[in-house]
Structure 1
Amino acid sequence: MLGGGGMNPRKMKQMMKQMGIDVTELDVEEVVIRTDDEDLVFDGPQVTRMDAQGQETYQVVGEPESVDPGTGGSGAGPAAELDAGDGDGDAEAAGLAIPEDDVMIVAERAGVSEEDAIEALEAEEGDLAAAIARLE
């Protein structure tokens, strides 16, 4: 996760929560980073999402394989590569790949049903902070 210089991980997590920083480990199969020169394909990486005051940051840990541009990844395009969910949600049928974890976060934070959370995420094009703000 994050280096704490020998700090107790539990204490680190508690301090981050007090500062409004939410850290979530994502269960992903593959990450593809596309550049003009190459595609970097990470198979089975460790991915951490950090939400600090509405700004999301992703950390990818793993060994990438460098492939020619446009040939990397097993997904069916950019939307498939961004979807870390399991693909069985209602948002998938609507054409917007919203990870189930995002739905659960919005529902929990805003105190609403999963269906309301999905509607808010769809309306805000997957932006968690905007979806939560919309529901509050």
Structure 2
Amino acid sequence: MFGGGGMNPRKMKQMMKQMGIDVEELDAERVVIETADGDLVFDGAQVTKMDAQGQETYQIVGSPKEVADAGAGGSAGGETPAVEGDDPDATADGADVVDAIPEEDVALVAERAGVPKSTAREALENADGDLATAIAELE
């Protein structure tokens, strides 16, 4: 984009600052990307966060290990998929509290607040499914 092959790194940083782009190195110990086919786990990867006009972008440099998915809904965090009829979170009238909160909402709160999915789900349950309240509670 900039053709920075011979550009001075300090000059490049100055230009990015003028354009409203902020770059920050994160001290990440582990990065996990969950996919439908399994997880990609990066141990000791270099992570760079770039904020350009409020839009955050993360760059991960490293070699991942592939971890096979343990079944539908399984994850590296040790969560187990729910089994119909065997749910400790079911209410007296048979309504399932866990299923009332979409997995996408749990993932969004976990990502935004930087917490495990189990913590995000608990915050969403406490906030009656309100995303903003759950994120604010965790931050």
Partner of 2:18: 18
Gaps of 5+ in 2: 79-105, 116-122, 124-134
CA distance in 2, matches of 1:122, 1:3: 41
SS of equivalent residue, structure 1 residue 5: helix
2:136 to 118, 122, 126: 122
Partner of 1:44: 44
TM-score (norm 2): 0.52
Larger Rg: 2
SS of equivalent residue, structure 1 residue 51: strand
CA distance in 1, matches of 2:16, 2:66: 34
Change (3 A) 1:71 1:122: closer
Given that residues 28 and 44 in structure 1 are in contact (C-alpha distance below 8 angstroms), is that contact kept between their aligned partners in structure 2?
Answer: yes
Q: Runs in 1 of length 4+ with deviation above 4 angstroms?
A: none
Within 5 A, what are the aligned runs for 1:1-136? 4-69=4-69, 70-72=74-76, 79=110, 83=114, 122=136
TM-score (norm 1): 0.53
SS of equivalent residue, structure 1 residue 36: coil
Between 1 and 2, higher relative CO (CA 8 Å, sep ≥ 6) is seen in 1
State the Cα RMSD in Å: 3.7
**Identical-pair percentage:** 65
